[in-house]
Amino acid sequence: MNVPAIAQKTFVEMRNRLEAMELIQFLLKKLNKNHDSVKRARYVHRIVDELNDHIFQDAKVKSLSPCASGCSACCHTQVSITSDEAELLAERVREGVEINRENLLIQMAVKNSSQAYYALSFAERKCVFLDTDGKCKVYEDRPSVCRTNAVIGEAAQCDTSVEIKPTRLIKTPEADLAIYASFLHSTSGGTLPYMLAKALKLTDS
């Protein structure tokens, strides 16, 4: 399944709570009824946004978070996506969104290995969808994991150009459970470049 680590951790912490299991079951039922992968991905994104909203709109969180348009530290870290999200991103590429194909080849070669990914240079780790202004070219269709990435604290802690530093992500438990459900439902999951390359049929391994 390659569930993102934060979502997996939240699931383990909350699996004995009735409301957590009810949320996962509700989402699995909805996803089972939908037979279109692109629509499923967008449905999960809408749910994740709704579950996150109260946190990201909180005045105190806003005042303590350095996250801003153009900051792209999170876009140089490994992102896990579902097969549905891979289909959605592949559709955007087929529609004409240009990607950094050089980085795609480099990143897809490491497949799902985080060790090999973080051995790449900062430039090589740049997401294939990041533009030259540090903005996401598929922002409205960015993966669930990207939607939950937010930091509390100093912007300096996000400087991953020298070495990987721990960042304090805002905890979004309900959204994490929705992400967990989406991976549970998905036929496969893995890193963004590797899953995208498979969806674009650039690799079959």
Within a 13 Å sphere around the CA of 191, how many CA atoms are in the beta-carbon half?
23
The conformation of residue 40, written as its DSSP 8-state character, comes to H
Of residues 144 through 163, those in contact with ligand SF4 by CB under 6 A are: 146
What is the closest distance, in whole angstroms, from the C-beta atom of residue 4 to ligand SF4 in the complex? 12
Please, where are the H alpha helices in the chain? 5-14, 18-33, 37-56, 59-64, 83-95, 101-109, 114-118, 144-148, 173-185, 192-199
Answer yes or no: are the C-beta atoms of 180 and 11 closer than 8 Å: yes
> Pick from 64, 97, 105, 136: which binds ligand SF4 (CB under 6 A)?
136
142 binds ligand SF4 (CB under 6 A): yes
197 binds ligand SF4 (CB under 6 A): no
Within a 13 Å sphere around the CA of 55, how many CA atoms are in the beta-carbon half?
20
Nearer to ligand SF4, 55 or 136 (CB): 136
4: tokens are: 């993102």
Dist. CA 3–CA 5, nearest whole Å: 6
What is the closest distance, in whole angstroms, from the C-beta atom of residue 75 to ligand SF4 in the complex? 3
- Let me know if 85 is exposed, middle or buried by CB neighbors in 10 A (0-12, 13-18, 19+): buried
Q: What is the CA radius of gyration of the chain?
A: 16
- Pick the piece of the chain touching ligand SF4 (CB under 6 A) from 27-35, 111-119, 141-149, 172-180: 141-149
What is the closest distance, in whole angstroms, from the C-beta atom of residue 35 to ligand SF4 in the complex? 25
130 binds ligand SF4 (CB under 6 A): yes
> Pick from 6, 24, 106, 127: which binds ligand SF4 (CB under 6 A)?
127
129 binds ligand SF4 (CB under 6 A): yes
- Pick the piece of the chain touching ligand SF4 (CB under 6 A) from 61-69, 140-148, 171-179, 180-188: 140-148
- Cβ partners under 8 Å of residue 73, min gap 6: 158, 159, 160, 167
Of residues 33 through 92, those in contact with ligand SF4 by CB under 6 A are: 75, 79
Nearer to ligand SF4, 24 or 75 (CB): 75
# residues contacting ligand SF4 (CB under 6 A): 10
169 binds ligand SF4 (CB under 6 A): no
CA distances from 23 to 8, 56, 102 (A): 15, 20, 40
Which stretches of the chain bind ligand SF4, using CB under 6 A?
75, 79, 127, 129-130, 136, 138, 142-143, 146
